[in-house]
Amino acid sequence: MNPFKQHIFLLLAAFLLGGLSLQAQKICAHRGYWKCEEAGNTQNSIASLRAAQQNGFWGSEFDVHLTADDIVVVNHDPSLNGISIRKNTYKRLLRTRLSNGEPIPSLADYLRQGAQSSCMLVLEIKPQKTVHRTLALAKACVEELRTFQLLDSTRVMFISFSFEACRWIAEQLPGFGNQYLEGDKDPETVHAAGIGGIDYHYTVFHRHPDWVARAHALGMDVNAWTVDSKSEMEYLRDLGVDVITTNRPLLLREVLEKQ
């Protein structure tokens, strides 16, 4: 079969599988379940992880950075309330607060809560100022997970915009969920680097709907971010992605239950 026909065939197969509901999508709460009273509407807080666990979502995503004194902390941006994470110590960062009053969670704090349920911990290794620091962050995460006995492929998976970090995880932890985020590489290129999955912005799958089936044909997992509208949820459900990452996990649950 020539490559064009093969792509059409895989695309049809994905639509059929999606239509027949043979493959239920998993719900991943983006930065925890934070658009709720329990979390004080504060993403990447311990309360947002707890709310994701309590609502029974498959997974809860969070972002990590490394402080100047090599402590892994959970935060989306490279700074908190104007205080740079990489330029400051953990102790200095504790003098500010998240919007719900919590201190910035260390990864240790986060994993202590993470260990309380079977909700998958979807750990995003944020690119640091240099690749060297990004890999130091990845290594520190693995050590911390080992300390909390969470270095287990059924409990944690990794995502990153850093291709180097994904490659490092693939080498160190074969068999763990490991998805590349940038969306600039086709599934074959990611697979050739030993990386087991793709987690792309949903618009990438509009440009390349065949990438879902092409990734599946290689045994890769497919995740899409950050999917907050009902129509996009339905599109990705029907395309047959494995995981949908959303700020609106209750809406996604409704969409998936209706199929």
Q: By C-beta, is 61 or 232 nearer to Mg ion?
A: 61
124 vs 232, beta carbon nearer Mg ion: 124
Using the minimum distance from each CB to Mg ion, give the nearer residue, 122 or 145.
122
Contact stretch for Mg ion (CB under 5 A) within 83-91, 122-130, 146-154, 208-216:
122-130
Shortest distance (Å) from residue 61 CB to Mg ion = 6
Q: Strand, helix or coil at 241?
A: coil
Task: Say which DSSP state 106 is in.
Answer: B
- How far is residue 37 from each of residues 34, 40, 43, 55, 112, measured CA to CA in Å? 8, 5, 12, 13, 22
Amino acid at 83: I
Q: State the nearest-atom distance from the C-beta of 125 to Mg ion, in Å.
A: 10
Shortest Cβ 48–Mg ion spacing (Å): 12
As measured in angstroms, the least distance from the Cβ of 65 to Mg ion is: 11
2, 3, 40, 194 from 208: Cα distances, Å = 18, 15, 37, 21
Neighbour-count burial for 35-66, b at 16+ CB within 10 Å, e otherwise: bbeebbebbbbbbbbbbbbebebbbbbbbbbb
Q: Which is nearer to Mg ion, 124 or 242 (CB)?
A: 124
Distance between CA 71 and CA 137 in Å, rounded? 9
Please, what is the minimum distance in Å from the beta carbon of residue 70 to Mg ion? 21
- Which residue in the set 59, 64, 113, 124 belongs to the binding site for Mg ion (CB under 5 A)? 124
- Distance, CA of 27 to CA of 196 (rounded, Å): 19
Looking at beta carbons, which residue is closest to Mg ion? 124
Could you give the string, one character per residue 29-68, with x where binding to Mg ion holds by CB under 5 A and - elsewhere? ----------------------------------x-----
Beta carbon nearer to Mg ion, 69 or 77 = 77
DSSP string, 117-139: S--EEEEEE---SSHHHHHHHHH
CA distances (Å), origin 95, targets 80, 132, 171: 11, 28, 38
Query: Would you count residue 232 as binding Mg ion (CB under 5 A)?
Result: no
Q: Map residues 80-119 to x or -, x wherever contact with Mg ion holds by CB under 5 A.
A: ----------------------------------------
Residue 83 is classified by DSSP as: E
Residue numbers at the binding site for Mg ion (CB under 5 A)? 63, 124
